[in-house]
Chain A
Amino acid sequence: MAIDTGHGATITFGTQGGTWRCIRIPGHAETRPVVDTTYLATTTTRTNMPGDLKECSTFTVQVQFQGNQGLPTLTTAETITITHPLASGGATAATVAGTGYVTRRKYPDMETNALQVAEFDIQWDGGTGPTFTAAT
Chain B
Amino acid sequence: MLTKRVIPCLDVHDGKVTRGVQFGRAEDGGLRNVGDPVELALRYNQQGADEMVFFDITASAHGRASMVDVIERTAAQCFMPLTVGGGIRSVEDMRTMLQAGADKISINSSALTHPELITAGAERFGSQCIVVSIDAKRTRPGFWEVHSHGGRKATGLDAVEWAVRAYHLGAGEIVLNSIDADGTKAGYDCVVTRLVSESVGVPVVASGGAGNLDHMAEVLLEGKADAVLAASVFHYGQYTVAQVKAHLATKGIPVRPEQLAHP
A, B from the same assembly = no
Chain A residues proximal to chain B, CB less than 8 Å: none
